[in-house]
Amino acid sequence: MVQHIVNGLTLGSVYALIATGYSLVFSMVGMINLAFGAVLTIGALLALQIAVEYGMGIGLGLLGAMLACGLLGWLTDQSAVEPLRRQRLPMYFALLSTFGLNMVLQNIAENVSLRSWQAEFKPFPAPFDITEITIGSIRFSNLDLAVIGTVAVTMVALHFYMTRTWGGRAVTMTASDSEVAEVMGVNTRWVIAFIFFASCALAALAGTMMGIYYGSVSSSLGSSPGMKGFIASLIGGRGQIAGAVLGALILGLMESLAAGLIGSGYRDLVAFLALIAMFLVKPTGILGGAQTR
């Protein structure tokens, strides 16, 4: 049981990055960026290309992937969301627009990867030698610690930015009331664009972590984790960063326990059952407030 909990914490840590990205965008514009899964895939593919194919190392590979995907997130806002927002159209128009963009990006990733590799999967070597650590009956690796540590540092840095910097306060003000924020001198348009940039940079980090952890990447890498991160954000509470992290850890633990105690084929079943149960019991999520109709 404890072994499954350790595995679940590692999986939940990766989900936390994805769920946080969803929550950041939702808190700003009240919509879900459905292109997030494809951006996650592209981030992993770019990190692999820069780090391994170009021989520049995982540090530069990760940095390049995060910058490129951040720019892709900014372009997503400028091309698929901002024009619709200026027309004051309902947000489901932007939702459908990002869904279309997701299909375009996914198709590009599939065609480019297959043409370059002539195979569906490409190995992603770990940036260091993996060693097993055993404490009693519990086994984990330094890779597990690296993934959990990287995510923890990222979450702490994000919390510091959101609570201790002027930019973070501008984000909070815009999420609370964009009209009041504009009166206070905040350029809400650029704040929203920055949130799209930051959320997609987190997606690239999550994709790279998954590629390293599983030892390979593919053109469909982000499909399932993208959906799981979305589910985690709903379980924790829409638009709540703390709720996104909590929901991600809970989902990771549930999947790991289900895989270990029932069978690996029940991972997705448990995730969707958890989502349905949360909607029936508390539709706004664990940390969500009262729902306004």
Measured at the CA of 47, the angle between CA 44 and CA 52, to 5 degrees, comes to 120
Under 8 Å between Cβ of 253 and 16: no
Structure-derived torsion over alpha carbons of residues 81, 86, 87, 91, reported in degrees to the nearest 10: 40
HEC letters along the chain = CHHHHHHHHHHHHHHHHHHHHHHHHHHHHCCCCCCHHHHHHHHHHHHHHHHHHCCCHHHHHHHHHHHHHHHHHHHHHHHHHHHHHHCCCCHHHHHHHHHHHHHHHHHHHHHHHHHHHCCCEEECCCCCCCCEEEECCEEEEHHHHHHHHHHHHHHHHHHHHHHHCHHHHHHHHHHHCHHHHHHCCCCHHHHHHHHHHHHHHHHHHHHHHHHHHHCEEECCCCHHHHHHHHHHHHHHCCCCHHHHHHHHHHHHHHHHHHHHHCCHHHHHHHHHHHHHHHHHHCCCCCCCCCCCC
- At 2-29, the pLDDT tens digits run 778 888 899 999 999 999 999 999 988 8
Instruction: Determine the Cα–Cα distance for residues 125 and 31; give it in Å rounded to an integer.
Output: 36
The pLDDT score that the predictor gives to residue 289 is 66
The pLDDT score that the predictor gives to residue 32 is 87
The pLDDT score that the predictor gives to residue 3 is 77
The pLDDT score that the predictor gives to residue 193 is 92
Residue 76 has φ and ψ, to the nearest 5°, of -60, -45
What are the tokens at 229? 């991160």
pLDDT beneath 50: ranges in the chain: 292-293
Task: Kindly give, in sequence order, each residue whose CB lies less than 8 Å from that of residue 130, ignoring residues fewer than 6 positions away.
Answer: 141, 142, 143
The pLDDT score that the predictor gives to residue 291 is 54
The pLDDT score that the predictor gives to residue 290 is 59
Assign domain 2-281 to its CATH architecture: Orthogonal Bundle (1.10)
> Where do the domains of the chain lie?
2-281
The pLDDT score that the predictor gives to residue 118 is 73
- At 89-132, the pLDDT tens digits run 888 888 899 999 999 999 998 888 877 777 778 899 888 888 88
